[in-house]
A and B are shown apart, each in its own frame.
Chain A
Amino acid sequence: MLIFSIILGRYPKPGLISLEFLSQNELAKKLILTLRIPRIVSALLLGISLSLAGLVMQTVFRNPLVDPGFLGVSQGASFGAALGIILGLTSRFHLQALSILFAIMGLVLSYWISRQIRFGGQILRLVLSGIAVSAFFSAGVGILKYLADPIQQLPEIVFWLLGGLWAVKWEDLVFILPIILSGIFVIILLRWRLNVLTLSQEVAFSLGVEKNRETIGVILISVIITALVVSYSGIVSWIGLVIPNISRVIIGADTAKTVPATIMLGGIFALICDDFARILLAGEIPLSIFTALLGASIFIILLSVKRESFA
C-alpha cells in the first residue's frame, strides 16, 4: 500500500509541458529537476509527515481533534520564523534553523511546564502546558507582527504563517529528509502497536506495556517530524487534523490500517493542494488556504455520506 502510494503520488504532476518539449528544452529539464521535483517531494513529505503525526497524536491523546503542532511546536516555529524576518535573517537556511530551534524550544517548554503542574495525569499535564506554550508563542508572534515594517516584513511574516512550498530546493531537504523518513519508518513499524496506547494505563500495564514511555516516544517522533516539515513549509493547517479523521471514516479505527491509509491520503492530498497553490494563479497562493478549503469540504462530504458508521 505504501509503495502504491508512492507510485500514485508522483503522478498528479501538472504536466502542462509535453514530453517532446521537455526532451528538447534544457531549461525545462532544469526547471523540472531543480524546482518541480523537490517541490513535489517536499509536498509529499509535508502531507505524509503532518497527517501521520496528527494520527499518532490523536491516537495517544485519544482525541480526534488534536493537531500535530499543538505541543507548542507550530507556534514555536512561527515565532522563530517571524523573529528571523524581523531581524533580517531572511535566508532560507536561517529561517529554517530558527523555526526548528523555536519549535523544539516549544516542545521542551511544554514538557518542562508539564513537569511543574501538580495535578492530573501525565498526558493531561502535557496537553495543558502545550496549550499554554502555544498561547505564549502566538502572543510573541503578535508582538513581532506589531513591530514589523508593514511594507516589507509584515507581508513576509503573514505569508510564512499561511504556509507554502514556493521556494523549496534540494538543499533545504538534504539534511532533514533522512530524519523525517526514519521517523515515518518507525511509525510504520509501530502501526499496530499504536492501538495499544489507546488503552487505559491499568489495562496496558496488565498487558506488559510501558504506556507512558511508549507514548512519550511516539509523541517525540511526531513532534520532531512536524517541526522539521514546518521549518521549510511554514504553518500548513488542517492536514494533520483532517486526514487522520478521513482515514478513520473510510477504513475504521485500527491503526494498522489507518497508518498506511493516512500516509497515502496525506501525500496525495498535499500534492493536490500544492498543485492548486502553484498553478491556479500566476503568483503563489498560500498552501493553507487550499488545505483548509479542500480538507474541510472533503471532511463534510464524508461525514454526511458515511453517517451511520461514523456515529
Chain B
Amino acid sequence: MNTYKDILFLLNKVYYKYPGSNRPIFRGLSLKIECGKVTAILGQNGSGKSTLLKLLLGVIKPYNGFVKRVNFKSASQAGLVAFLPQTEFLGFDYSVEEYILFGRVPFIDFLSSPKESDYKNVSSVINDLKLQELKGKKINQLSGGEFQRVRIARALAQNPKVLLLDEPTTYLDLYHKKLIMDSLKKLHHQGVSIVFATHDPMEAANIAENFILLNKGKGVIIGKKDILNENNLSDIFSISLKTIMLNKQLFVIHNEESPQL
C-alpha cells in the first residue's frame, strides 16, 4: 500500500454482526476499493453484500476495525455517496419529479424548499436518463424497470462522487438490465466511482473492473476479472459452475457433469 491517492474506501479488520445475532457477518474483513473504478461485490444471498455496502456508506458502524473514506469525509460532505437500496418502500404516491427532487436534499437548506436551480438539475438528469415520458407519472404507475431508472435518477440528482447500488438489476428484464448497465457505464466514464452488489457473475464481468467475492463466513477473494474462475465461483455459490469465454464475454453455466459440491 504505497499511496492513498487512488483509494476510495479502506476497510481494516472490520468485524460486524447484526444486533441480537450471534453469527458475525464479517470477521476481520480488510480490503480497499479504488477510486474512479467500477467494483462488483459478488456473493450468495446472505453473504453480506448489502452489509458491506452499508458499511461503506457509513450508516452502520463496525464493532471493531474501521472503515476509512479516503479523499472525503462522510458526515461533513453530505450527499457525495449516493445509495440505492435493493428495494424501496414509499409510504405515499409521489410523482416522478417530486421523487427525483429528493436527491437535491444536500443542496437545499434545512428550512427551505427546492429552488429553480434544483428543478433545472432534475430536468437535466431526467433528460440524461431519457425519462421524459415518465416525468408526470406517479411512482405507483411505474414498472419495476422504470422505477429503478427513476431511483438512479434520484441518486444522480445529488451529484455523487460515489454510487453504491444494491443489486440494481435483480428484478429487471434483459432490455431494462441493458438500459441500467449502459447508464452505469456512462456514469463511470464521467468519473463516478461505482460499487454494486450482485449475484450475477456475468453481469459483474460485463461492467466491473474490480471484484470482491464474498464467501459466506469464509472470507473474501479480491482481484481483477481473472478471479472469476470456475473454482472461486463454484466455491462462493456452493454449486458446481463452468465458465465459458465467448466473444470476450464471460458466461457462467451449471456444470451438469460433476455432482454438487
Contact = CB atoms under 8 A, between A and B. Distances in A.
A196 B92 contact: no
B66 interface: no
Given A59-B91, A59-B92, A207-B105, A195 B79 contact: no
Contacts, number: 89
Nearest to A209: B105
A203 B155 CA distance: 9
Interface string B89-112: 111111100100011011010111
A198 B108 contact: no
Interface stretch (B41-49, B80-88, B227-235): B80-88
B158 interface: yes
Contacts of A61: 91
Q: What secondary structure prevails in chain A residues at the interface with B?
A: loop
Contacts of A207: 78-79, 102-103, 105-106, 158
A63 B89 CA distance: 11
Interface string A192-216: 1101101111110111110000000
Contacts of B57: 202, 205-206
Contacts of A309: 138
Q: Place the interface of chain A in its size category.
A: 20 to 34
Contact of A203 (B85, B110, B140): B85
Nearest to B20: A119
Contacts of B138: 309
Nearest to A310: B93
B90 A198 contact: yes
A36 B237 CA distance: 75
Contacts of A195: 94, 98, 102
Nearest to B105: A207
A143 interface: no
A200 B95 contact: no
Contacts of A256: 113
B110 A193 contact: yes
B59 A64 contact: no
B85 A200 contact: yes
Contact of A252 (B85, B88, B98): B98
A207 B114 CA distance: 14
Contacts of A253: 92-95, 98
Interface string A71-114: 00000000000000000000000000000000000000000000
B111 A193 contact: yes
A189 interface: yes
A248 interface: yes
B27 interface: no
A254 interface: yes
B144 interface: no
B54 interface: yes
A62 interface: yes
B113 to A, nearest CB: 4
B58 interface: yes
Contacts of A62: 89-92
A278 interface: no
Determine which residue in B81, B88, B95, B102 has the highest number of CB atoms from chain A within 10 A of its CB, and name it. B102
Contacts of A254: 94-95, 98
A254 B84 CA distance: 21
B154 to A, nearest CB: 8
Interface string A39-71: 000000000000000000011011110000000
A201 B59 contact: yes
A199 B94 CA distance: 12
Nearest to B166: A202
A252 B95 CA distance: 8
The CB with the most chain B CB atoms within 10 A, among A58, A191, A193, A256, is that of A193
A190 interface: yes
Contacts of B110: 190, 193
Nearest to A195: B102
Given A205-B83, A207-B105, A200 B112 contact: no
Nearest to B109: A193
Contacts of B58: 205
Interface string B157-169: 0100000100000
The 10 closest A-B CB pairs, nearest first, are A208-B78, A62-B91, A253-B92, A206-B83, A192-B113, A207-B105, A205-B59, A189-B111, A253-B94, A254-B98
Interface of A: 58-59, 61-64, 118-119, 189-193, 195-196, 198-203, 205-209, 248, 252-254, 256, 309, 311
16 contacts: A64-B91, A64-B92, A189-B111, A199-B102, A200-B85, A202-B54, A202-B83, A205-B59, A206-B79, A207-B102, A207-B106, A207-B158, A208-B78, A248-B92, A252-B93, A253-B94
